[in-house]
Chain A
Amino acid sequence: MNLIDPLVRAPAPAAEILIRHAHVLDPREGLDGPHDVLVRGGVIARIAEPGTLEPPDGTETVHASGRRLFPAFVDPHVHLRTPGQEHKEDLESGTRAAAAGGFCAVVAMPNTSPVTDSTPILRSLRDAAARDARIPVGFMPAITVGMNGTELTEMAELRAQGALGFTDDGKPVVSAGMLRKALQYQRLCGGVLALHEEDPTLSSAGAMHEGAISALLGIAGIPSISESTLVARDCAIAGYEGGRVHMQHLSAIESVQAVAAAKAAGIQVTCEASPHHLTLTHEAVRTMDTRMKMNPPLRTEEDRQALIAGLKDGTIDCIATDHAPHARDEKEVPFEQAPMGTTGLETAFASVFTDLVLPGVLSLELVVEKLTVGGSLLDLPLPRIAVGEPANLTLVDTDQVWQVGEHGYESRSANCSFAGRRLRGRVLMTLAAGSVAYRERAFSVTAVPTPERTA
């Protein structure tokens, strides 16, 4: 099938930047140490010993001594809310938030209004992204029309129009037969099926993890088995059809076990975990703070530990935010009435770095790997720090402490489960697809080369 580039963004000037003395970390490229990195025409032109490169004319110099330079992150799971819910987020604000979080590409979910389930909607979205998106955005249209679970979208035509893959995210594909048909169609048109796993007959009216705290609060629970049973079922179906599936936002230990078993059986399944599921538990819901309400819900410490172990042993392939913005008045209601979701793009690195890397739970290398690999699971190119590659870079100050939300958010919405937390690790600058997509306000840069301290 003749495919067009699934990533779209607004035109932006190609970066001409010399980043000097940054501590470059790209585990896959074997880079871990201070280097100068020269970007010319948006492409990584040279990587050299620190302090050895001089900026060509018209090149901006960034003094990055003591800062970390990573391949920029890729988020395979965000909600940008366009079309129809622009009061929560739009392509501009959402991609600005992503760039501020160090991301060079994001993949938008189709639970918009109307649902992204047809070529005209996909085409208009790609047109809008070509005007508004600060970083490249990929779109995953719905698996079923209207995400109603009853008829397949025109998957082949959607793929030809740039659909990255397909998902009914926000809802499960309840019917096993329907999922099987989509997997059969995948042989024709390709594209990974990303699955939100939840058996609605088990999750029912649940609003939080079913356990000791839901019992105490009298709030209907979402049992872990509502997720894990569908993960296991859909792995089996994917195995039978030889299809490729990606399990979204795993939250429960039983789900991690189900994916591990499927991988061991050779089934083509990948999966993700979110920063909030990796760092928070249902204890955070005790106060009925609606920012802690998301689907799947925050679960127990045992579940959280299983997700961490899954990241370490490779069962969980990547970290994805499931960035889910909601307007203030939508979240300023009693817990049970509030919509599900937390924003996450701007805090993804800092939350994981603060709560998991600094205490020594995860290595920085592993976190960088898991934050960058998400797109490649959906066949997007991997951001790499290598000569000749487009500049997809994020410069991070891993010593800077900042308070989440203190100066507002780049996102249009403020429903962040880390709001008020003091986190360590601040993104200073992001280059996406060869262009500067974000600069931290207080981060001073100069186009005039100045004498460099030797690091």
Chain B
Amino acid sequence: MSSGSSVEKGESLKDTVLTLSAHRPDAIVIRTPWAGSAELVAGWTDAAIVNAGDGKHEHPTQALLDVYTLRQRLGDINGAKIWIVGDVLHSRVARSNILAFQKMGALVTVCGPPTLIPRGIEAMGCDIRYSLTDLPDADVIYALRMQHERMDQAWIPSLREYASVYQINGRRLLPRQVLMHPGPVNRGVELSGEVVDSPQAAILAQVQAGVVVRMAVLYEVLAGARAPQPAPEPQLA
């Protein structure tokens, strides 16, 4: 909810939501750069709110579709070792997936440059690694997108070095491992081209799952939760 919208013209988030709500929508899907926005606006409207990403906080539908994809691949996630690799600090996908994967019984490890692993993340129950040495232990490798602007702010010395240390490539990806990524991929940075195109990659399956899972979310908030009310019998005039 930003480009070309009234938020861009200086309208407050509250006024935007009040204005949209005046149209009596059943649901509002909101994506903002600010943590907690979805919960905040839920207090200003009767519409169901779907969080499509709030800042670096959470991206719940991504986590749902990732769980869906993994269950299709592995059958069961319980006990699976899942490594989330890359810029965890700035990733809402990472935060939602740590919660979702753990809820499904998986063991989550986060791995990335020490500057991009948030202090205190172990309180979420995950392990922390700063190198890929133990990556062969993983059943699933979930690579995060490395954004170029992180280099400008000196979070990492260079993308080249990042790739040499953290890139998932043909040498590092084992045949039995599943490779995931939220997209869009920076080929040659967090993933080498050959692994993106490998059979281990579930990246396109994630995209497909995105459609059905988000359809299900919308069905749930639009119809599912309100279903109990039976439709009135048509009255003949």
Chain A: residues with CB nearer than 8 A to chain B?
Answer: 210-221, 223, 288, 329, 332-337
Q: Smallest Cβ distance from B120 to chain A, in angstroms? A: 4
Which of these, B37, B91, B118, contacts A221 with CB under 8 Å?
Answer: B118
Given known contacts A333-B12, A334-B34, A336-B55, A218 and B119 CB-to-CB distance under 8 angstroms: no
Which of these, B12, B14, B120, contacts A211 with CB under 8 Å?
Answer: B120
Which of these, A215, A288, A335, A337, contacts B118 with CB under 8 Å?
Answer: A215
Query: In the complex, what residues of B have CB within 8 A of residue A337's CB?
Result: 34
A335 to B55 alpha-carbon distance, docked (Å): 11
B95 x A216 contact (CB < 8 A) = yes
Please tell me if B39 contacts chain A, counting CB pairs below 8 Å.
Answer: yes
17 contacts between A and B (CB under 8 A): A211-B123, A212-B122, A215-B118, A215-B119, A215-B123, A216-B124, A218-B57, A218-B90, A219-B56, A219-B57, A221-B118, A333-B13, A334-B13, A334-B32, A334-B36, A335-B35, A336-B55
A371 to B63 alpha-carbon distance, docked (Å): 50
Which of these, B14, B32, B90, B124, contacts A215 with CB under 8 Å?
Answer: B124
A211 x B55 contact (CB < 8 A) = no
A332 to B91 alpha-carbon distance, docked (Å): 25
Beyond the given pairs A212-B122, A334-B54, 8 more chain A to chain B contacts, judged by CB atoms under 8 angstroms and listed by A's residue number, are A210-B120, A212-B120, A216-B95, A288-B36, A333-B12, A334-B34, A335-B36, A336-B36
Chain B: residues with CB nearer than 8 A to chain A?
Answer: 12-14, 32, 34-37, 39-40, 54-58, 90-92, 95, 118-124
B34 x A336 contact (CB < 8 A) = yes
B35 x A334 contact (CB < 8 A) = yes
Which of these, A213, A220, A329, contacts B120 with CB under 8 Å?
Answer: A213
A288 to B37 alpha-carbon distance, docked (Å): 10
A202 to B199 alpha-carbon distance, docked (Å): 44
Q: Smallest Cβ distance from A160 to chain B, in angstroms? A: 44
Q: Which residue of B lies closest to A289 (CB)?
A: B36
Query: In the complex, what residues of A have CB within 8 A of residue B39's CB?
Result: 288
A288 to B38 alpha-carbon distance, docked (Å): 11
A217 x B36 contact (CB < 8 A) = yes
Q: Smallest Cβ distance from B29 to chain A, in angstroms? A: 17
Given known contacts A216-B124, A218-B95, A334 and B40 CB-to-CB distance under 8 angstroms: yes
A220 to B155 alpha-carbon distance, docked (Å): 14
A185 to B71 alpha-carbon distance, docked (Å): 70
Which of these, A215, A223, A333, A334, contacts B121 with CB under 8 Å?
Answer: A215
B36 x A212 contact (CB < 8 A) = no
A11 to B14 alpha-carbon distance, docked (Å): 43
A334 x B55 contact (CB < 8 A) = yes
Query: In the complex, what residues of B have CB within 8 A of residue A215's CB?
Result: 118-121, 123-124
A211 x B57 contact (CB < 8 A) = no
A288 to B122 alpha-carbon distance, docked (Å): 20
A334 to B12 alpha-carbon distance, docked (Å): 10
Query: In the complex, what residues of B have CB within 8 A of residue A333's CB?
Result: 12-14, 34, 40
Q: Which residue of A lies closest to B59 (CB)?
A: A218
Query: In the complex, what residues of B have CB within 8 A of residue A223's CB?
Result: 119
A217 x B12 contact (CB < 8 A) = no
B124 x A218 contact (CB < 8 A) = no
Q: Which residue of B lies closest to A205 (CB)?
A: B153
Query: In the complex, what residues of B have CB within 8 A of residue A329's CB?
Result: 12, 14
Q: Quick one: which of A218, A220, A223 has the most chain B CB within 10 A? A: A218
B35 x A219 contact (CB < 8 A) = yes
Query: In the complex, what residues of B have CB within 8 A of residue A214's CB?
Result: 118-120
Query: In the complex, what residues of B have CB within 8 A of residue A218's CB?
Result: 35, 55-58, 90-92, 95, 118
A263 to B12 alpha-carbon distance, docked (Å): 48
Q: Which residue of B lies closest to A337 (CB)?
A: B34
Which of these, A221, A332, A334, A336, contacts B119 with CB under 8 Å?
Answer: A221
B123 x A212 contact (CB < 8 A) = yes
Query: In the complex, what residues of A have CB within 8 A of residue B121's CB?
Result: 212, 215
Given known contacts A216-B95, A216-B124, A336 and B118 CB-to-CB distance under 8 angstroms: no
A35 to B27 alpha-carbon distance, docked (Å): 65
Q: Which residue of A lies closest to B121 (CB)?
A: A215
Q: Which residue of B lies closest to A336 (CB)?
A: B34
Query: In the complex, what residues of A have CB within 8 A of residue B92's CB?
Result: 218
A336 to B57 alpha-carbon distance, docked (Å): 11
